[in-house]
């Protein structure tokens, strides 16, 4: 046993160590920047599709707060939000599902769940995230906290073990999910209320459903059909009645015009008791009464409509178009069903997103590498910022809406 007294470090060393300790301890006392308190109600993400990156944005000051990298192939990416608006679940084309923490601007989880994916949905209770896949055709359900696989539901059809591409996925009340099978011409509802034991119902829909929407109340599901002149509608309050065709023969037997980009029905325009739907192969927006499901009008527009979206108050509907007319946007007045404005916000307008109460709309101008912000009262541009090849814009207000 040594009786030598413990040796203290030389005075010079203490002169260095003590201030260092003081600085480190005081740093622990102040919160790191990312945990500074803020709400999430005015946040959103902009997809920078070519770079596998998202911008975290806020709509109150119209600014980019941060960028998050490493999300894979984001062509045709879509996003759903956790019910508290903190996490964005980003579905990439390459099957990647990434959970992005908007407050810390970091990746909270990531799985590569499919080979070729087209989007996703989140359950009514916010606990289940579902991806819809082209390859392998089907849907997969994940725990929203951990991204652990809960259920794998193949879109198998026929007797030869074929699997269909899945489109038009939407959440329904009761932790159910509804989707369409492009190759099989079916609508299916998978009930995940008993998480481990998915139960699936099947309905015949029509030829080549390409996308779908659920009405804001979750009652009606409408699938657009590429291979038929009409749309398939299912009343989810009385599903036993089966699919009903609406707007049959809207093409009036005319030769359809070429469709250079499939319309998107998600992001719907249901306003004032009417649904506004892009015609396929016609340069028209179809207007249908949501009580009778009869056509009440059609609006001639500049080109093949892609997104037909209602301003949150329903007073206007904004329409963008397929290549090569994707530099145009038109505004429809929902009282007169006339076009009130024809705008050129930029080159290749891929997506539009209204602020939660609709005073502004953000548009992605892919070929100008920027996002432009328009005032929806004056229809004038009020701001813009750089974004690399932007496509989808998604605000956290979607977290509280069925079908988003």
Partner 1 sequence: MKPPPLLVHVAVFIGAALIAAYASAAEEGGAPRAGSPRYRELVHIVRQDCGSCHGLTLAGGLGPALTPGALAGKPADSLVATIVGGRPGTPMPPFVGIVSEAEAGWIVDQLMRGFPADGGAGAPAH
Rounded to a whole number of angstroms, the minimum distance from the CB of residue 210 to partner 1 is: 7
Site string for partner 1, 306-335 (x = CB under 8 A): -----------------xx-----------
User: How far from 156 is each of 71, 126, 164, 310, CA to CA, in Å?
Assistant: 29, 27, 6, 35
Q: In the block, which residue shows the tokens 């609406």? A: 246
142, 210, 221, 362: which one binds partner 1 (CB under 8 A): 210
339 binds partner 1 (CB under 8 A): no
Least distance to partner 1, CB of residue 94, Å: 8
The residue from 116, 124, 200, 248 that contacts partner 1 (CB under 8 A) is: 116
Q: Quote the tokens at residue 54.
A: 């998202």
Residue with token string 């657009």? 224
As measured in angstroms, the least distance from the Cβ of 93 to partner 1 is: 6
Site string for partner 1, 6-25 (x = CB under 8 A): --------------------
Tell me the site size for partner 1, rule CB under 8 A: 31
Q: Between the CA of residue 387 and those of 67, 105, 252, 311, what are the distances in Å? A: 10, 17, 42, 24
Please say which residue, 141 or 350, places its beta carbon nearer to partner 1. Answer: 350
Instruction: Rule CB under 8 A: say whether 140 interacts with partner 1.
Output: no
Please report how close the Cβ of residue 182 comes to partner 1 at its closest, in angstroms.
7
Residue 333, strand partner residues: 316
Which residue in 124, 88, 147 sits closest to 392, CA to CA?
A: 88
Please identify which residue in the block is written with the tokens 């944005």.
57
Residue of 305, 384, 391, 387 whose CA lies nearest to 351? 391
Single out the residue of 260, 293, 328, 385 in contact with partner 1 (rule: CB under 8 A).
Answer: 260
Count other Cβ atoms within 10 Å, centred on residue 237: 10
Stretch that binds partner 1, among 140-148, 186-194, 253-261, 311-319 (CB under 8 A): 253-261
Which stretch in 69-77, 96-104, 194-202, 309-317 sits in contact with partner 1 by CB under 8 A? 69-77
Residue 214 or 225: which CB sits closer to partner 1?
225
Does 157 bind partner 1 (CB under 8 A)? Our answer is: no
Residue from the set 134, 307, 318, 374 that interacts with partner 1 by CB under 8 A: 134
Tell me the closest approach of the beta carbon of residue 240 to partner 1, in angstroms: 31
Lookup result for tokens 């190759």: 183
Over the window 345 to 364, marking each residue x when it contacts partner 1 by CB under 8 A and - when it does not, the resulting string is --xx----------------
Applying CB under 8 A, among 19, 227, 242, 272 the residue interacting with partner 1 is 227
367 binds partner 1 (CB under 8 A): yes
- Contact between 208 and partner 1 per CB under 8 A: yes
Task: Report the nearest approach of partner 1 to the CB of residue 294 (Å).
Answer: 28
Q: Does 135 bind partner 1 (CB under 8 A)?
A: yes
Among 41, 73, 203, 337, binds partner 1 (CB under 8 A): 73
Rg of the Cα trace of the chain? 25
Give me the least distance between CB of 238 and partner 1, in Å please: 31
Only one of the segments 23-31, 33-41, 259-267, 295-303 lies at the binding site for partner 1 (rule: CB under 8 A); that segment is 259-267
Chain residues 261-290 in contact with partner 1, contact rule CB under 8 A: 261-262
C-beta closer to partner 1: residue 254 or 291: 254
Residues that bind partner 1 (CB under 8 A): 49-50, 73, 75-76, 93-94, 116, 118, 134-135, 165, 182, 208, 210, 226-227, 258-262, 323-324, 347-348, 366-369, 389
């Amino acid at each position: 046993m040594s009786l030598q007294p413990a040796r203290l470090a030389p005075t010079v060393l203490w002169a260095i160590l003590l201030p260092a300790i003081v600085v480190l301890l005081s740093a622990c006392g102040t919160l790191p920047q990312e945990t500074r308190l803020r709400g999430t109600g005015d946040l959103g993400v902009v997809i920078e599709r070519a770079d596998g990156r998202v911008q975290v944005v806020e709509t109150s000051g119209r600014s980019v707060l941060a960028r998050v990298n490493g999300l894979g192939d984001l062509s045709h990416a879509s996003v759903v939000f956790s019910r508290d608006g903190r996490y964005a679940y980003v579905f990439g084309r390459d099957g990647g599902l990434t959970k992005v923490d908007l407050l810390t601007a970091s990746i909270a989880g990531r799985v590569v769940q499919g080979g070729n994916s087209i989007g996703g949905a989140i359950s009514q209770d916010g606990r289940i995230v579902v991806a819809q896949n082209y390859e392998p055709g089907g849907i997969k359900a994940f725990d929203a906290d951990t991204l652990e696989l809960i259920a794998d539901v193949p879109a198998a059809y026929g007797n030869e073990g074929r699997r269909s591409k899945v489109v038009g996925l939407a959440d329904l009340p009761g932790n159910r999910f509804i989707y369409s099978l492009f190759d099989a011409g079916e609508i299916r509802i998978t009930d995940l209320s008993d998480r481990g034991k998915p139960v699936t119902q099947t309905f015949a829909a029509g030829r080549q459903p390409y996308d779908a929407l659920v009405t804001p109340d979750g009652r009606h599901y409408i699938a657009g059909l590429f291979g038929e002149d009409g749309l398939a509608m299912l009343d989810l309050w009385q599903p036993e009645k089966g699919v009903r065709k609406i707007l049959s023969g809207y093409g009036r037997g005319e030769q359809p015009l070429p469709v250079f980009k499939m319309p998107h029905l998600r992001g719907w325009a249901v306003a004032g008791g009417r649904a506004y739907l892009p015609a396929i192969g016609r340069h028209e927006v179809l207007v249908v009464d949501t009580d009778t499901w009869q056509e009440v009008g059609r609006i001639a527009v500049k080109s093949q409509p892609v997104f037909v979206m209602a301003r949150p108050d329903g007073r206007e509907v904004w329409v963008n178009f397929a290549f090569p007319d994707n530099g145009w946007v038109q505004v429809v007045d929902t009282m007169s069903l006339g076009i009130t404005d024809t705008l050129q916000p930029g080159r290749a307008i891929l997506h539009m997103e209204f602020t939660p109460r609709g005073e502004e709309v953000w548009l992605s101008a892919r070929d100008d590498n920027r996002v432009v912000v328009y005032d929806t009262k004056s229809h004038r541009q009020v701001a813009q910022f750089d974004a690399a090849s932007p496509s989808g814009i998604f605000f956290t207000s979607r977290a509280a809406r069925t079908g988003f």
